[in-house]
Amino acid sequence: MELRLKNRSLGVFVLPVSFLLMAFASLSPEISSHIDPLIPALQSNWLTSHVLTCFMGYAAFTVAFGLGIMYFLKMAAAGKKGEMISGFFHLLPGEDVIDELIYQSAAQGFVFLTLGIMTGSVWAHYAWGSYWSWDPKETWSLITWLIYALMLHARHVRGWRGRRMALMSVIGFACVIFTYLGVNYLSGLHSYLKT
């Protein structure tokens, strides 16, 4: 994306998220660095396809979130119409470009999350005999999917652009973070933290 735009400012908004997630994984007392054998339900070829597609979706949603923050900062820096933007904010792409990139990133993430939910469903049927069990992780994945579906639908049907799309990318990413990290503290099939 940066190569296509010939602008390397996006990393400034996405890299902190990656850093914080890596720091959480490294420093959290609930996450063990000890490697144990996988439980039988996880010993499946579906593990690779399910996890890969979900993480590709999460990555695209992270980019959309970074772009949403970029959009809000660019708008705040612009202030009144006709005012020149100075400093770092001058280097950011225009609002229309950011808006289009939010849409493209969210659409790409939506496709990957859809595939992730589908492969997870097939894997669940293989492992537990049921395609859907309303596990907290499954439920929050569905909620996240619905938020991004609403975002993409509103763009096409209602013509949402700019501030609304940026806000939806931030709200959607909050759901992604809860889906990825928060539900681990709830009991269910996806709870692998040791207490």
Total domain count for the chain?
1
Instruction: Identify residue 99 by its one-letter amino acid code.
Output: D
Which residue carries 């996405």 as its tokens?
Answer: 14
pLDDT band at 142 (very low <50, low <70, confident <90, very high): very high
Is the confidence at residue 122, as pLDDT, over 80? Answer: yes
Is residue 89 within 8 Å of residue 77, measured between CB atoms?
yes
Q: For position 74, what pLDDT does the model report?
A: 86
Per the structure, the complete domain to which residue 78 belongs is given by 51-185
Is 11 among the domain residues? Answer: no
Is the pLDDT higher at 166 or at 193? Answer: 166
Is 42 among the domain residues? Answer: no
Is the confidence at residue 65, as pLDDT, over 50? Answer: yes
- Give 2's contacts (C-beta < 8 A, 6+ positions apart): 8, 10, 11
Is 38 among the domain residues? Answer: no
Is 41 among the domain residues? Answer: no
Structure tokens at 67: 């772009």
Is 195 among the domain residues? Answer: no
Structure tokens at 47: 């593990």
Is 166 among the domain residues? Answer: yes
Nearest by Cα to 151 from 135, 136, 169:
169
pLDDT band at 187 (very low <50, low <70, confident <90, very high): low
DSSP string, 109-128: HHHHHHHHHHHHHHHHHHHH
pLDDT band at 83 (very low <50, low <70, confident <90, very high): low
Is 8 among the domain residues? Answer: no
Is 192 among the domain residues? Answer: no
